[in-house]
Each structure stands twice: as structure tokens, then as C-alpha cells.
Structure 1
């Protein structure tokens, strides 16, 4: 056996050897680091003869002074061979050249060796580039992570041209995709933000500020606001541009659902254009090799992808654009159902009865939670034909089948007989509401379409479909009527929908109960 003295000597020898090895490694590391930290980025670049062209342009644009500062940067320096691809028009334009060179410089220090997957980093142009352990954009990193006093240098085998973002690319189209480009530009607008404006003086009469003209103006695009921020460099999208013929085809499929009161062709075209183009933006960047048979738009609509219809691909600074000669959208996904939730009425027959409404959270027979509205009268508050009104907009010009869901749990709530709830749905113009009793504020609904009363028996969990209807008086300019038991919207409009209780003053005979009303368009 080894005695304690021998063990101690062996441990001491190992410790000395370990400390010696660690010190040697630390000294080597310090020597390397100190040697690199003695120079700036611009000095490191100029010291490499294979980067002389890039160094020349850094000096020519004044960016050499930036890389000589104490701030930290990450530089992607193309080799002389890579710089041969530079467009002479860019090289001869001081503004474009500086923008081009700036796209190879990022604020802060990023290490390729520390990247898991990929990251997007800001360059001095305000654009983003995609950076991985071995690449930046389409360029390979041939030498990575050269440490210097104010950042890191990566040598790459291709240049990094400044890319347009998706918005700028679409706006630049003049031939292919010209109609889509024109629509996007037509949605540009602005407003004045007084918090950002310069106050010139105060109006002596009103005391309101008088702003310096042109200050505080905020520009934005209504189409981007409703769909996707295609001008945002920090978001990534896959975007589809339709050729003029393809856009006309898709608009033609949905135009009949956007007939206006004035029969304005321009308005119909604009509304149909938005209906098509709201679903050509997809979140995230999907490269050509990864394209599936269909994608989901930002609105959850299926976007069929026929790769043979792709006529052009553009890699933008915030995603990718496919110009396509056909995208066969399903009309049923473009003209969709409208669901009116019962717990969100716009107003009631009498405002002073609104407090009677109970807004409940209930489990149905399958255990699924839903929200509804239940309104019950006492003997002192009961009103015949009482209604809850709902303002409905976004109706397309087509026929709708009307569904109502009311889960009648009156027995569970110990409501006296009759347990049935009799109610109906009616529709009328927004302007058809009039105050009929100035003293009480009672409103009367003059309706254009009256559906028959339906009985909801206790524990009725089945959605009820109105298959029959009685039409009211239809005027020549009416925008809704009833045909074959369906709601028929003939002009785009906003209407009032009423959930109307039985024409009775008997307690519990004229209650209201509603989960939702759904209007399903009939696609033809």
C-alpha cells in the first residue's frame, strides 16, 4: 500500500504540473488577445492585402474614421475577388457607395462562434442581415471572429448589396405587378400628431395651439396597417405579388360580393382588391426550397402555392417576394361567416331595462365554456316585444343563412313555466330606429325582414336554423330583403339586427336568451 507521504508527494507533483499548464495556456491567451487588441478594425483591414479594395472604399466614404473610433462594431469585409462584382454605377455614386459599404458594418460586437442557428442584426444602413456561424446572407465567412480593440472582423467571399424591403420592392414595380403596386401606393395617407408638431403660437380666441405647417405629420399605409407591416425592417414576411392578369382574375371572383349602394365601380374594385390582397402576406420567410402546397396568410386563409406559377423571386431585406401568375384562392375562404356574440348588444328597446340583462359564463352539455346573455323580466318591468339590438357591418352582397344558438337552461335556473323561450331575429336599416315615446325613451324597430318566432325548449343545446321568413315592406332602395327563407343583402351596408322577445307581458313568457347569431354566406 502507498503510505500517506507518497500520496502527498504525488498530489503535490500533479498540482504543480496542472498550475504550470494553466499558466502557460493563460499566458498564450493573453499574448494573442493583447496582440489583437493593439489595433483597431480599420488598421486590421488595411493590414490585410486581400482586403485592399474594401479598405479603399472605407477611406473614400469616410467610414474608415468610424471604424477607428472607440465604439464597437462587427465588420463583414469582402475579399478583393468578391469586390469585383460591385456594380460600377454604385462605385461611382458617393451616396450609393456609402450605403453599400455601410451594409457591411453592424453596431456592437457579434461572435459567429456564439450563434445558435441564425440571428438578424442591424447594419449601419438600418437594414438587417442574417448571420450564422458560417454565413452572412448569401456570403460564406472564410475567416471569422478576428478580435480587435473595437470589435470583430469577418472575411467573406461575397458582397452584401443593400436590398429593398418588401414595401419598396412592390412600390418599384412598373410592369409585372403594376396593378398591385398601384393599389399599395393608393393606400398611403397621413395625419397630424400634435404631440410631435411644433407649436407656432396660441389662438387668442380658442387658446388652442397653432402648429407650424408641415410639422407633426405622420405618414402610414392603410393596407399595411390592416394586414402586415411590409415596410418594417424588423419583421419578416413571405409576400406574393400577383401579375395584373392574376389580380384581375381573383378580383373578378369576389367583386359581385362588394356591390355598393351607389354602384361605384371604383369602390367595388377597391374593396375587392383588398379582399384579395389582405391574404398575400405570410409571417416568416419561406425559401423556395421549403415552399409547401399552401401557406397560411396573416389572416389564417389558405394561400395555394403552384411553384410553376412563380415568375420572379426577390430576396428583400425583411423577407422574400414571389411574383406569381396565378393564386387560386377559394371564394369560401374570402367571403366568410359573420358571428354576432349575444353578450355584446348595441342597445335595447329601453335603456332603463338594460340592467336586467345577465352576461353569463356557462358550460354546455359537452363541458365547453361559452358566454351568453339572458334577460328576464319581473312583473313590474315586463315589456312586450322587447328587443336587444346589434349593429352589424361587413355584410357582403349575397344571401345569408341565419343561425341562432340559445342554450335554454331555464329549468336549471328554476324559472317558472312556461320554460320555453320564444324569440325571433329581425333585420332593419340603421336609420329605421325612431323614438316612439319621448317620456320613456322606448324605441320601435321598423324592420325590413322579420323571421318567424322560434321556440327554444329547456335544455335545448342544438343551434336553430331559421328556414322560413316573412318579409316586411321592401322599398326600392332597400339594401336587404328575404328570398327563399334567407337574408339577402343586395347592397353593402350596415344594418341593425334585433333579437326580439315574444309579444307578451306575462312574466317569463317574453325572456331573451342568446349565445350567438351566425350569418353564413351562400357562395355561388
Structure 2
């Protein structure tokens, strides 16, 4: 009996929910005014003399038949007065007129109760329009929610011609931001998408398809792919276009940090420095000109925009565009530190020592989680064993080397860790007996690091230190900060081909290049005498 009662109550609840949902849909329907459920959207427009011009456009395009079907539509119908200023070139060109009319029509029904408070609605032309309870784009809704058999009509006091998106607007500019525009255009490229290409035949040997030439081509913009989808109608951005003078000023600030081996002006200025400047020209969302302060780019870099610098603006279909004569980025936000995480090595001195390598997640002395690498512990490693890290495409400047490492090895006696941080150009490795020799051109003296604690007594340990540390004052004391046990200065191997060296004790990158960082253990082989550990290394650019 109890089971029957439970089933009855559940069934009653489901019926109540269903009836409630139906009532909600009917209530939304009854919110519409001037219902003409025996007419479709075209018939309702045709009967309104104040919409005769727009009705004529629909008939001219054959939409009187298209919009009479079973699908539902929302139409924002401009009055005759609203259409008086339409360019005759648009009206007399079928393709242009179709784009114009399509921007006033959307699939599905959107009542003025739908926006909360705004919403973006995709039109038949592929553009999105901003819809509120009283407006669509810049047009006021004078008569709302005219519900008919296959949709709803909103009468508006202005036409809403299709807008360019941000990409289209940049491409339309002439004489105001030619260098910025040229950078965007040079990033246009095509590739063949085999899934969209036409197959002509198949190679009898490989079985691979032979495609019809010219089919399957897809156009992309590499800059948009890396920064922001400025041609995407469903994403909204605020984008800053720099005048030629502003673009040159920002590129000149950063160009010296992109010196190349070939010393190519085009590579340095138009590719590398240009991208460094423009990667932070996009901000997510639509920002009005009155709100151009405290902005952050899509790459989380402060954008120093000012309303007074705007020389031209445009409300695009997917955001706002501001042409500015100044966008003075702080160079410290453009030439930023490089962080190498200990738990992300590229390779090791030997690959047969993996049983001695540990990637750890733990807490530091402040209770914060850190991830690091620990190599060694009780295993025996070759002398001067190393972990190597590839550092791609460094800025050309001097770097301070900052290291954070924590020695938490716990044994019956305190165990020091001695390790060095060296840097070398990437060349073919020298391998002897299965061991790779590091090509370390720039060598910082080995550092001694005592354990975190011994017998419950906290000891001074590495936190963040800048290399090179002072020469060792007490090689046996565990209560001193990390020390330079080599008792000397960093060194560099001088060769004509060097792209890195030392300047005033700092790592210097002379030409844009990729290098390796080697974290090298002690020159010893007994267990726990050549351990390696570190949380991270920072290469901090010295801005000059």
C-alpha cells in the first residue's frame, strides 16, 4: 500500500510540473500584444501601411514565401520613415539588399521579456544584434511583441544595417593606421583542410587521396588565432588600433629585445616587435569610451588606454574599435620574466636514472603548495649528473638569475645539497658511455644548501636567491644562507659563435635564440652527495 501511495505522489508531482511548464509558455505568449494568430509575419507586415517599404523589400527578395513557412521568426520591422535615408545603391543591388534585410530577421521567437537586461541575437545574415526590452542596436522599439502564427514582430524607428566585425573594420581602414593594418594582413594565410577538399583519385602505392587542386582551402589569420578571434561574430572584444606614429613608438621601445642572428629588420620590427606590441591590443567585452581605464588585455597585461587618445571609433558587430594615437605600454609588462619550473625538465644526463627522479607536490614554510623536482636521495648517480631545461626564444638582454629551492631531505645526519645552474647554447649533444656532456657556456659557481631542519631545529634554507651568491664564508655551517662554494665568480666560455655570455655577473643573451639550462649536481658519486632539487628558476630581464 505504501509503495502504491509513493508512486501516486510521484505521478501527481510530474503532472503538476508539466502543467506549470505549459502555463508558463502560455503566459509568455499572452504577454505579447496585438495577437494575430491567423496571420504569418509577412501578412501582418503587409497589412501595416507604415511598414510598406519594408514589405516591398521582402517581396522583392522572395521572402514573402520564405517567411510564410512553418519555421518561427523574430522580425524587427523599420517604419517607412526609418527607411527614407537608405542608400539607393543598397536597394537596387539584390545582394546588398539581402544582407540589409537579413539583419532585421532572426530565427526563433524573441519577446522583449527575454533580454536580462541585454542579449545578443544571431540574425539570418550571420551578424549578432544587441537586443534589450526597448531597443535593438540603436533603434527604439515603438511597437513590441506583435505575436502571429509563426513568430513575433517588433516595429522600430531606425533601420539596423549590418555592421562590419572588428576584422572587417581594420581591413577597411586607409591612411590612419596603415602599419597596424599591414601587420594584420601579413598574418593572413591559407591551408588545405583535407576533410573539405574534393578527392580526385587515390595514390595506388600509398592509398592516400589525391585532391583536386584549389579545393579544401581554408583561410585563417595567424594573429587572430594567437590573440583574439576578431572575425568571430560570437565573441565580443574591445580592440585598439594604433596610428602609424603610435605603432612606431611602441615598436621602437621593445625592438632591442628582439635582436636576431640574421639581424633582419623585417623579422625584428615587423614580426617580433610588432607582435609584442599588438598581442595586448585586445580586451574582452565591449567597453564604452567612457570606460577606458584599468583595462587588462586578453593576455592579462594592463592596457594604458585613454579616451583623450581616441581619434576614431567604431561600434562593430562583435565589439568596439578605437583608433588611438597613443597606447604607452609599460615596458616591464611587455618584456617579462621567464619562469622555469623544476618539475618540467627537457632531458637528463642519463636516461637510465629515472628511478632516482621524483616530481613532488608539497607545502613550503608558509603553507603554500609548491611543485618541484628531487633527484638522488638514496640512489647513486654519476658525478655531475644534471637535469636540462630548454628555454625557447629568449629576449635579447641581461637577466638576473633567481633560484628557489628547498632541501627537505631527512636523514640521521644533516645532508647538504650542492648544485650549480649553468646555461648553454643548443648544439648536437656529446655522448660518452651513455652520458650526455652539457654544453654549458655560462657557468655560475656551485651553491651549497643546507636542510630545512635537523632534530626539530629550523635551519636557514634557500627561498629566493639571486645568483651568484657571495663567496663561501663558512663551508661547514648549516646556519648560513646558500653560499658560493667555488669561491669565485661566474664564468663564460668565449667563442665567436656565442649568443650568450656574462655581463656584470648576469646572463646576457646577445641574439634571439633558444638555450638550455643545466642544473648540475656535485662532482661526487656516493649516495646523497650529488642530489639535485629546485622549485623554480626565474630569468628576470634587466630593463635598460
C-alpha contact 2:429 2:437 (8 A) present in aligned 1: yes
In structure 1, the partner of 2:384 is: 385
In structure 2, the partner of 1:7 is: none
C-alpha contact 1:348 1:354 (8 A) present in aligned 2: no
In structure 2, the partner of 1:235 is: 235
Please, which of 473, 483, 492 is the counterpart of residue 472 of structure 1? 492
In structure 2, the partner of 1:220 is: 220
SS at match of 1:45: helix
Task: Give the Å deviation of 1:193.
Answer: 2.4
SS at match of 1:431: coil
- Measure the CA separation in 2 of the matches of 1:369 and 1:294: 30
User: 1:35/1:305 Cα in 2 relative to 1: closer, same or farther (>3 Å)?
Assistant: closer
SS at match of 2:353: helix
C-alpha contact 1:176 1:243 (8 A) present in aligned 2: yes
- Measure the CA separation in 2 of the matches of 1:296 and 1:106: 34
Please, which of 509, 512, 519 is the counterpart of residue 529 of structure 2? 509
C-alpha contact 1:130 1:136 (8 A) present in aligned 2: yes
Task: Give the Å deviation of 1:472.
Answer: 2.6
User: 1:325/1:34 Cα in 2 relative to 1: closer, same or farther (>3 Å)?
Assistant: closer
Report matched runs for 1:26-41 at 5 Å: 36-41=36-41
Task: Give the Å deviation of 1:465.
Answer: 1.0
Aligned length: 488
Q: Please list the CA deviations of residues 405-441 of structure 1 after superposition, one character each: whole Å capped at 9, or x if unmatched.
A: 101112xxx235451111011001110521122xxx2
In structure 2, the partner of 1:375 is: 375
- Measure the CA separation in 1 of the matches of 2:63 and 2:71: 13
In structure 1, the partner of 2:107 is: 107
Task: Give the Å deviation of 1:400.
Answer: 0.5
In structure 2, the partner of 1:131 is: 131
Task: Give the Å deviation of 1:378.
Answer: 4.0
Task: Give the Å deviation of 1:191.
Answer: 2.1
In structure 2, the partner of 1:50 is: 50
- Measure the CA separation in 2 of the matches of 1:516 and 1:164: 46
In structure 1, the partner of 2:514 is: 494
Task: Give the Å deviation of 1:219.
Answer: 1.9
TM-score (norm 2): 0.87
Task: Give the Å deviation of 1:382.
Answer: 2.2
Task: Give the Å deviation of 1:87.
Answer: 1.8
- Measure the CA separation in 2 of the matches of 1:33 and 1:318: 32
User: Mean alpha-carbon deviation: is it higher for 457-466 or for 340-349?
Assistant: 457-466
In structure 2, the partner of 1:424 is: 420
In structure 2, the partner of 1:182 is: 182
Asked if 1:287 corresponds to 2:288, the answer is yes
Task: Give the Å deviation of 1:127.
Answer: 0.3
- Measure the CA separation in 2 of the matches of 1:200 and 1:50: 56
C-alpha contact 2:449 2:462 (8 A) present in aligned 1: no
C-alpha contact 2:419 2:522 (8 A) present in aligned 1: yes
User: 1:69/1:471 Cα in 2 relative to 1: closer, same or farther (>3 Å)?
Assistant: same
Task: Give the Å deviation of 1:196.
Answer: 2.7
Asked if 1:436 corresponds to 2:432, the answer is yes
- Measure the CA separation in 2 of the matches of 1:415 and 1:200: 71
SS at match of 1:113: coil
Asked if 1:277 corresponds to 2:278, the answer is yes
C-alpha contact 1:364 1:461 (8 A) present in aligned 2: no
C-alpha contact 1:107 1:124 (8 A) present in aligned 2: yes
Report matched runs for 1:120-159 at 5 Å: 120-159=120-159
- Measure the CA separation in 2 of the matches of 1:354 and 1:348: 9
SS at match of 2:253: helix
- Measure the CA separation in 2 of the matches of 1:34 and 1:259: 70
Task: Give the Å deviation of 1:164.
Answer: 0.5
Q: Please list the CA deviations of residues 260-292 of structure 1 after superposition, one character each: whole Å capped at 9, or x if unmatched.
A: 000010000110000000000000001123x14
Task: Give the Å deviation of 1:133.
Answer: 0.5
Task: Give the Å deviation of 1:338.
Answer: 0.4
User: 1:248/1:492 Cα in 2 relative to 1: closer, same or farther (>3 Å)?
Assistant: same
In structure 2, the partner of 1:456 is: 449
- Measure the CA separation in 1 of the matches of 2:223 and 2:242: 16
Task: Give the Å deviation of 1:471.
Answer: 2.1
User: 1:505/1:179 Cα in 2 relative to 1: closer, same or farther (>3 Å)?
Assistant: same
Asked if 1:522 corresponds to 2:542, the answer is yes
SS at match of 1:169: helix
User: Mean alpha-carbon deviation: is it higher for 484-493 or for 350-359?
Assistant: 350-359
TM-score (norm 1): 0.90
C-alpha contact 1:432 1:446 (8 A) present in aligned 2: no
In structure 2, the partner of 1:170 is: 170
SS at match of 1:114: coil
- Measure the CA separation in 2 of the matches of 1:354 and 1:121: 56
Task: Give the Å deviation of 1:34.
Answer: 10
Unaligned runs of 5+ in 1: 1-25
In structure 2, the partner of 1:352 is: 352
- Measure the CA separation in 2 of the matches of 1:417 and 1:498: 28
- Measure the CA separation in 2 of the matches of 1:63 and 1:255: 56
C-alpha contact 1:42 1:68 (8 A) present in aligned 2: yes
Task: Give the Å deviation of 1:65.
Answer: 2.0
In structure 2, the partner of 1:415 is: 411
SS at match of 2:498: coil
In structure 2, the partner of 1:15 is: none
User: 1:401/1:35 Cα in 2 relative to 1: closer, same or farther (>3 Å)?
Assistant: closer
In structure 1, the partner of 2:440 is: 447
- Measure the CA separation in 2 of the matches of 1:519 and 1:217: 42
Task: Give the Å deviation of 1:62.
Answer: 1.9
User: Mean alpha-carbon deviation: is it higher for 396-405 or for 169-178?
Assistant: 169-178
User: 1:65/1:352 Cα in 2 relative to 1: closer, same or farther (>3 Å)?
Assistant: same
- Measure the CA separation in 2 of the matches of 1:88 and 1:265: 48
C-alpha contact 1:239 1:321 (8 A) present in aligned 2: yes
